[in-house]
Amino acid sequence: MIQKFEFKETEIKGLFEITPFNADDIRGCFTKDYSKEVFEDNGITHDLAEVFYTTSYKGVIRALHFQRVKQQPKLVRCISGHVYDVVVDLRKNSSTFKKWLGFDLIGTKHNEILVPAGCAHGYLVLEDSIVSYKCGEKFYGEYDDGIMWNDSDINVKWPLDKIGGIENLILADKDKNLQTFKEFMTKYGAFEMDRNTTQKNGGGYKLVLWPSLAVLQEAA
């Protein structure tokens, strides 16, 4: 069976859930999860700068991450296993500012999401999993940052029951020490979408995002 690319827009502008090209037969399957040409034909610009993979055990949570400067748009897919993936809009002039959406990314479904720059991203691992990130910007360790996975203002409803409860959560020291949403707003004032550089591209758009003045001052 052959499955062609499908692109589903979400409430958060620039965030797409994507079904990639997939061909199944008696040998297994052949998957193409990114095509510059197909994406652009559907009004989406996503140029690759780097590709990363994570291997995670059931119960791991990696959240909620972003890059303060040179934010990274990323195409995220669970290659094997199952993760509950969350995206939070941190663009203050977005109509969905502070809204979060969750997706079940499952290896056997081959589904993926395109996370726009200016959003926080993370996931809870529901089965031992391998996840790929196809990033549109390089990773800069000095700008690596995030918000606590359980921040009360954002209030993500993580399916902790699917890992047997919060006592089974596996959290790295890095993620234990992330800031709250209030601290993020006080320090950085959210990210801004420069409407003057938003380019229409067929039925879609290309978003060019800039950090707040506070971030620029810190980076200077």
DSSP 43-60: TB----SEEEEEEE-TTB
Closest CA to 69 of 214, 220, 210: 210
Answer yes or no: 143 catalytic: no
Q: How far apart are the first and last CA of the chain?
A: 53
Answer yes or no: 205 catalytic: no
- 62 by Cβ neighbours in 10 Å (0-12 / 13-18 / 19+) ranks as buried
Token look-up 């809009």 returns 89
Residues 6+ apart with CB under 8 A from 108: none
Which member of 53, 57, 123, 133 is catalytic? 133
Closest CA to 193 of 100, 96, 50, 114: 96
User: Could you give the CA distance from residue 91 to residue 39 in angstroms, rounded to a whole number?
Assistant: 23
Which member of 46, 65, 82, 110 is catalytic? 65
User: Could you give the CA distance from residue 168 to residue 165 in angstroms, rounded to a whole number?
Assistant: 6
User: Which DSSP letter does residue 42 get?
Assistant: T
- For residue 128, list its beta bridge partners: none
Q: Which residues are catalytic?
A: 65, 133
